[in-house]
Amino acid sequence: MSPFLLTRTLPEDATDAALRADVLQGLTRTPKVLPPKWFYDSRGSELFEEITRLPEYYPTRAEREILLARAPEIAAATGARTLVELGSGSSEKTRHLLDALTGLHSYVPVDVSESALTGAAESLLAEHPGLHVHALIADFTQGLALPGTPGPRLVAFLGGTIGNLLPAERASFLASVRGLLAPGDALLLGTDLVKDESVLVRAYDDAAGVTAAFNKNVLLVINRELGADFDPRDFDHVALWDAEHEWIEMRLRARRNLTAKVPELDLVVHFAAGEEVRTEVSAKFRQDRVRTELADAGMELTHWWTDEEGRFALSLATA
């Protein structure tokens, strides 16, 4: 008898239109770029889950350590009655919060993937009988309308995914999050931190090659969705640290001169040997930058927690 509601604010064909626009724009400009959100079909999501278990990929474990240690403080500081989770995916990390937020009335997971939302809701409802789950199929980088669940609201954006946004995108994203907060509401933000370059690069170029497969998966998505004929074997996985911007970049580098057809877009794409397409930016932060970017969006950093090793941070901010 646990209430479960699912609201779609994203038209069924919005994803397809957005992929077409991104591939058309991204592969006809110089240098070529593809947005990281297209990694995550079911295979890509599986590969990402595998990445989170790799010895080199510390962010997931570091964030879990903080959530486990700090969930009671987060609950006390926010008194949240509604937890909104942006990019909830499997809602795995959320469990620690849900367990600690004892006064919680509603959980609002927001994701572009309907299957992730319904799959996660089923097990959450079993574990938290009486919790209202109102899942939203939505793109949280576009304007969000939240259901009228009771406040205070805690909006969580975990995993370090904010690092996938470029600085200007981050500013408008944080401003729109700010717009969701009423007085007394809070934002819980996960950010990976600047650290030794070799540790960072290994996290994005693991020995087992899982991240390489994840990176190349975007080509398989384009092949399937747009009828393209990319051969992932024609590309090398590249992960590099951009010290100026303090972000990791993932790229795919053509091993030879090649031409790929994208029939659904009436497009022929040429890659010169060695030419790269940037597939992801994963920004790493310092406390100062987080504080400043929150302040620029009209929020105040009130708590800053890191794991023991200082690799990852959870920030709590209020409007």
**Binding site, annotated residues for L-histidine:** 57, 164, 204, 280-282
Number of residues that bind ligand AVJ (CB under 6 A): 11
Under the criterion CB under 6 A, does residue 35 sit at the interface with ligand AVJ?
A: no
Site for ligand AVJ in 58-87 (CB under 6 A): 59
Nearer to ligand AVJ, 62 or 131 (CB): 62
Instruction: Please name the residues in contact with 239: beta carbons below 8 A apart, sequence gap of 6 or more.
Output: 201, 204, 205, 211, 248, 249, 250, 251
Instruction: Please name the residues in contact with 130: beta carbons below 8 A apart, sequence gap of 6 or more.
Output: 2
Under the criterion CB under 6 A, does residue 44 sit at the interface with ligand AVJ?
A: no
The nearest distance, CB 196 to ligand AVJ, in angstroms, is 16
| Residues that constitute the known binding site | 57, 87, 93, 111, 139-140, 164, 204, 280-282
The nearest distance, CB 159 to ligand AVJ, in angstroms, is 4
Q: Dump the DSSP string for 210-242.
A: HHHHHHHHHHHHHHHHH-----GGGEEEEEEEE
Cα dihedral sign, 13-249-68-140: negative
Kindly report the backbone phi and psi dihedral angles of residue 9, in degrees, each rounded to the nearest multiple of 5, phi listed first.
-110, 0
Q: Are 187 and 297 in contact (CB under 8 A)?
A: no
Nearer to ligand AVJ, 222 or 283 (CB): 283
| Residues that constitute the known binding site for S-adenosyl-L-methionine | 87, 93, 111, 139-140
3-state secondary structure of 127: helix
The nearest distance, CB 284 to ligand AVJ, in angstroms, is 9
Site for ligand AVJ in 151-190 (CB under 6 A): 159-161, 163-164
Nearer to ligand AVJ, 60 or 318 (CB): 60
**DSSP-derived secondary structure letter, 283:** E
Under the criterion CB under 6 A, does residue 204 sit at the interface with ligand AVJ?
A: yes
Nearer to ligand AVJ, 101 or 213 (CB): 213
Say which residue the tokens 């659904």 belong to. 264
Nearer to ligand AVJ, 82 or 215 (CB): 215
Candidate list 63, 139, 280, 293; residue touching ligand AVJ; CB under 6 A: 280
Residue with CB nearest ligand AVJ? 282
* Distance of alpha carbon 316 from alpha carbon 38, whole angstroms: 29
Beta strands 82-86 and 106-111, pairing class: parallel
End-to-end CA distance of the chain: 35
Candidate list 51, 137, 221, 297; residue touching ligand AVJ; CB under 6 A: 51
User: Can you give the binding site for ligand AVJ, defined by CB under 6 A?
Assistant: 51, 59, 159-161, 163-164, 204, 211, 280, 282
